[in-house]
Structure 1
Amino acid sequence: MSEMLLNIVLADDDEDDRMLFSEAIDEIQIRTKLSLFNHGQELMDYLNLPNVVLPSLIFLDLNMPIKNGQQCLIEIRSNPRLKDLCVAIYSTSSSEKDIEDTFLNGANIYVNKPNNFGKLREVVEKVLQLNWQYHTSNLNKETFLFRI
C-alpha cells in the first residue's frame, strides 16, 4: 500500500523560519509536499485558486504583513470550501489573548515556534502524526495548546 502524501502549507513572513521549517520537514520520515508562502494574502490567493489541491494541514504564523494569521483563519473558517481544513497556528507569541482568539476563531492547534532545530523537527513530526479527526473532535483548551 502506498503511503499517503501529506500536502502541507506554511505561511510565514520570516525567511529563516520558512527555511528551518522546510529542513525539518525534509528530515521527517513522512512523505510530504510543502508549499511556502511569505504572507497571508499570498496563502489566501493560493487557496482560492479554482483547481488547487487543498492542503492536509496549514501552518499559519500570526504576525505577518498584508494579511496576518488571525485574518487568514477567519477567512478560511468562513469559506464553505475551506472551512474544514486543519489549521495549526505556528507562532512565537505565547500571549493568552492570541491563544484564546485563535481558539475561538476555529484553529485546530496552537504551536509555539521552538527555539532550536531539534525541537522544531520533533514538534513538526508530532503535529503531522496527530490523528486529526480524533484531535478535532476532542478539542478543548487543554488539547489546543500543543506542548512538547
Structure 2
Amino acid sequence: MAEATRLILLVEDDPDHELLTIRALKKSNIANEVRVARDGEEAIASLFGPDAVRPQLVLLDLKLPKVEGLEVLRRIREDDTTRMLPVVVLTSSDEERDVVRSYKLGVNSYIRKPVNFTDFAEATRQLGMYWLVLNECPPMS
C-alpha cells in the first residue's frame, strides 16, 4: 500500500489546461509535486495499480477519455484506502447534472475553470491554499 504523500494528482486530458494548472500552482508557490494522469484509466492505475500513489489531493476533470471523471470519483469513494482522499473536480463543465452527480458521489469541492489565465491562477491559488495548507486531511489507511 502506498504511503500518503504531499503529491497532487492532476487528472486532466487537455495539455493546455494541464500546463495552466501547473503554472498557476507554481505561481502561487505551491511546491507539491504534481503527477498527471491524462485519462481516467491512468488515474485509476495511479491510485490502485502496482505503483499506486496516495496523493494529498486529486484535481479531477470530468470530461476524460477512456474512463470519465465521475467513474474515477466513484472508484475513489468505493475503496476503503481512498474513500477519504480529498477530491476537487476542476472542470469546464457548467452542467448542473455534473455538479449534482459529483456531490452525490462524494466530491469535496466542484470548481468551474475560469476562462482567462488571471482568474484561473487566482482560483488555483485559493484552491491550493485551502486544500494543501489550511485543510487538515484525515490519515490515510
Q: Same fold, TM exceeding 0.5?
A: yes
Is the aligned partner of 1:11 residue 2:14?
no
Distance of 1:94 and 1:132 partners within structure 2: 26
* Contact 1:12-1:60 within 8 A present in 2 as well: yes
Gaps of 5+ in 1: 135-148
TM-score w.r.t. the length of structure 1 is 0.82
Distance of 1:79 and 1:49 partners within structure 2: 13
Which region of structure 1 is more displaced relative to structure 2, 50-59 or 101-110? 50-59
Q: Following TM superposition, by how much is the alpha carbon of 1:83 offset from its aligned partner in structure 2, in angstroms? A: 0.7
1:66 maps to a residue whose letter is K
RMSD: 1.8
Spell out, residue by residue over 1:66-96, the C-alpha distance to the aligned partner (whole angstroms, 9 max, x if none): 0011000000000111111000001111111
Gaps of 5+ in 2: none
Q: Which residue of 1 aligns with 2:82?
A: 82
Q: Which residue of 1 aligns with 2:98?
A: 98
Q: Which is richer in strand?
A: 1
* Contact 2:9-2:36 within 8 A present in 1 as well: yes
* Contact 1:6-1:31 within 8 A present in 2 as well: no
Is the aligned partner of 1:121 residue 2:124?
no
Structural mapping, 1:1-148, within 5 Å: 6-50=6-50, 52-130=52-130, 131-133=134-136
SS of alignment partner, residue 6 of structure 1 = coil
TM-score w.r.t. the length of structure 2 is 0.85
Which region of structure 1 is more displaced relative to structure 2, 102-111 or 7-16? 7-16
Distance of 2:51 and 2:63 partners within structure 1: 28
Percent sequence identity over aligned pairs: 28
Q: Following TM superposition, by how much is the alpha carbon of 1:18 offset from its aligned partner in structure 2, in angstroms? A: 0.7
SS of alignment partner, residue 33 of structure 2 = strand
Q: Following TM superposition, by how much is the alpha carbon of 1:50 offset from its aligned partner in structure 2, in angstroms? A: 4.2
* Contact 2:24-2:124 within 8 A present in 1 as well: yes
1:70 maps to a residue whose letter is L
